[in-house]
């Protein structure tokens, strides 16, 4: 079996590649940049600005599975990068699906469209935990882009493509870049431990509560949902538990070798608005594939801190 991962050099792409390769799947991936660092032979230099090169690539490669990960993935940056977010997540996705539809593999290939819990946006209390039927009410440009990506997935499914849409809630793990909460906290702690930063950690909103899942549980779910999910359907991927950002910070601080780190709130790390609590309902995916999370949040946090210690 052959898989294509768009955005393979990103955080999730790396973990997904590792998982698929360990399951004897032949993995290829697209990137807008040459991968000088590793110079891997399975990287295809491609952006999604023109349809013809994508169609040609698909006709040559003939993947059985396509994981469409490439995106502007930061909620925080999406306020300042509205058009860039819509361009990456909507325009390029539309062009990409159009190319898949025009290619020789259109009637065989299975495609996974990656949405987000941010599609739900502002949710009324009685709708928590959030199931797939809760009205979509995004409150930031990233959420809007992912709702539109969902609409595109449904549209192309109605046109005959086998596309399944997933809504992962927050996913974390070693390798996630700065700009996401667990990496931001762990990176600063690692730099403080190695005395490259003074013992002050700056943070944003600690009161938000989020449903965290380890990225390795997420890619295991992707691999099964793409094959067994129903075209045009949507599946939440979440743990069903919520933790405050303050809990994440406190837990990482207990793991630190430096016991006198001060916490300072940085107004620049606060968002114009955000929903206070997300808890997902994962019954639909559990019923489909019997998937449940395996990693404990605390295990993931320890590995994330160790990852940043190795870079500090
Ligand atoms: O082309 P690269 O190698 O720089 O890969 C980046 C790619 N990407 C884009 N591709 C086309 N046009 C853009 N404007 C654009 N911006 C970024 O997508 C990048 O490495 C990859 C996404 O990787 P991460 O930012 O690390 O996201 P992550 O966490 O792997 O998320 C994967 C999917 C995305 O659809 C998220 O929205 C969702 O999961 O949470
Ligand atoms: N990034 C960041 N940095 N977030 C902070 C910080 C900080 O220093 N301090 C507090 N937070 C809070 C944010 O305000 C937010 O409530 C929460 O931590 C999580 O922020 P992120 O890790 O940036 O993730 P996100 O929820 O905005 O988006 C992630 O999850 C989505 C699914 O729920 C991304 O991975 C998205 O791509 C994904 O779709």
Percent of the chain with pLDDT over 70: 98
Domain containing residue 42: CATH number: 3.40.50.720
Residue whose CA lies nearest to ligand 2 atom number 18: 181
Instruction: Identify the pLDDT of residue 36.
Output: 58
Which of 147, 149, 180, 275 best tests ligand 2's pocket when mutated (most atoms within 8 Å of CB)?
180
Peptide bond before residue 129 is cis, with ω within 30 degrees of 0: yes
Model pTM?
0.98
Q: What's the chain look like in SS3?
A: CEEEEECCCCHHHHHHHHHHHHCCCEEEEEECCCCCCCCCCCEEECCCCCHHHHHHHHHHHCCCEEEECCCCCCHHHHCCCHHHHHHHHHHHHHHHHHHHHHCCCCCCCEEEEECCHHHCCCCCHHHCCECCCCCCCCCCHHHHHHHHHHHHHHHHHHCCCEEEEEEECCEECCCCCCCCHHHHHHHHHHHHHCCCCCCEEEECCCCCEECCEEHHHHHHHHHHHHHHCCCCCEEEECCCCCEEHHHHHHHHHHHCCCCCCEEEECHHHCCCCCCCECCECCHHHHHHHCCCCCCCHHHHHHHHHHHHHHHC
Residue whose CA lies nearest to ligand 1 atom number 13: 88
Instruction: Identify the pLDDT of residue 40.
Output: 78
Same domain, 132 and 202: no
Same domain, 235 and 251: no
Same domain, 200 and 128: no
Atom of ligand 1 nearest to the CA of 84: 14
pLDDT in tens, 246-279: 999 999 999 999 999 999 999 999 999 999 999 9
Q: From CA 192, how far away is CA 312, in angstroms rounded?
A: 9
Same domain, 233 and 260: no
Same domain, 73 and 197: no
Same domain, 135 and 192: no
CB 275 within 8 A of CB 150: no
Residue whose CA lies nearest to ligand 2 atom number 4: 181
State in Å: Cα 239 to ligand 2 middle.
Answer: 16
Find the range with the poorest average confidence among 8-17, 34-43, 75-84, 175-184.
34-43
- Exposed/middle/buried for 80, CB within 10 Å: 0-12, 13-18, 19+? exposed
Same domain, 12 and 29: yes
**Band (21; pLDDT cuts 50, 70, 90):** very high
Work out how many domains the chain is built from and give that number: 2
Same domain, 87 and 154: yes
Neighbour-count burial for 256-285, b at 16+ CB within 10 Å, e otherwise:
beeeebeeeeeeeeeeeebbeebbbbbebb
For residue 18, the tally of other CB atoms under 10 A from its CB is 14
Domain containing residue 204: CATH number: 3.90.25.10
Instruction: Identify the pLDDT of residue 307.
Output: 98
* Mean pLDDT calculated for residue range 194-201: 98
Same domain, 108 and 202: no
Find the range with the poorest average confidence among 42-46, 82-86, 225-229.
42-46
Residue whose CA lies nearest to ligand 1 atom number 14: 88
Same domain, 27 and 160: yes
Same domain, 156 and 265: no
Q: Which residues pair with 223 in a beta bridge?
A: none
**Band (41; pLDDT cuts 50, 70, 90):** confident
pLDDT in tens, 199-247: 999 999 999 999 999 999 999 999 999 999 999 999 999 999 999 999 9
Share the mean pLDDT of the chain.
97
Please say if the pLDDT value at position 303 is more than 70.
yes
Instruction: Identify the pLDDT of residue 39.
Output: 63
Same domain, 133 and 257: no
- Exposed/middle/buried for 142, CB within 10 Å: 0-12, 13-18, 19+? buried
Question: What count of residues does the chain have?
Answer: 312
Domain range spanning residue 260? 181-208+242-278+297-311
Q: Is any atom of ligand 2 closer than 6 Å to the C-beta of 172?
A: no
Instruction: Identify the pLDDT of residue 37.
Output: 56
Q: Which ligand is nearest to the CA of 263?
A: 2
**Band (33; pLDDT cuts 50, 70, 90):** confident
CA geometry: angle 201, 212, 18, nearest 5 deg: 100
Q: Which ligand is nearest to the CA of 54?
A: 1
């Amino acid at each position: 079996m052959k898989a294509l991962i768009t955005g393979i050099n990103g955080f999730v792409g790396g973990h997904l590649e590792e998982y698929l390769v360990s399951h004897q799947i032949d993995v290829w991936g697209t990137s807008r940049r040459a991968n000088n660092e590793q110079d891997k032979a399975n990287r295809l230099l491609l952006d999604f600005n023109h349809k013809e090169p994508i169609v040609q690539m698909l006709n040559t490669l003939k993947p059985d599975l396509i994981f469409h990960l490439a995106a502007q993935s930061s909620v925080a940056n999406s306020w300042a990068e509205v058009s860039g977010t819509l361009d990456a997540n909507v325009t390029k996705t539309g062009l990409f699906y159009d190319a898949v539809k025009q290619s020789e593999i259109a009637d065989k290939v299975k495609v996974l469209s990656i949405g987000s819990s941010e599609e739900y946006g502002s949710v009324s209390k009685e709708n928590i935990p959030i199931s797939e039927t809760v009205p979509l009410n995004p409150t930031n440009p990233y959420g809007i882009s992912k709702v539109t990506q969902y609409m595109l997935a449904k549209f192309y499914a109605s046109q005959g493509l086998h596309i399944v849409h997933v809504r992962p809630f927050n996913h974390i793990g070693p390798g996630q870049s700065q700009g996401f909460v667990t990496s931001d906290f762990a990176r600063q702690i690692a730099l403080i431990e190695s005395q490259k930063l003074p013992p002050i950690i700056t943070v944003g909103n600690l009161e938000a509560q989020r449903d965290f899942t380890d990225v390795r549980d997420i890619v295991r779910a992707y691999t099964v949902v793409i094959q067994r999910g129903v075209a045009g359907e949507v599946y939440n991927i979440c743990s069903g538990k919520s933790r405050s950002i303050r809990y994440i910070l406190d837990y990482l601080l207990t793991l630190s070798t430096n016991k006198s780190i001060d916490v300072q709130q940085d107004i620049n790390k606060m968002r114009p608005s955000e929903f206070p609590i997300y808890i997902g309902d994962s019954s639909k995916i559990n019923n489909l594939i019997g998937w449940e999370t395996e990693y404990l949040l605390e295990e993931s946090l320890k590995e994330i801190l160790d990852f940043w210690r190795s870079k500090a």
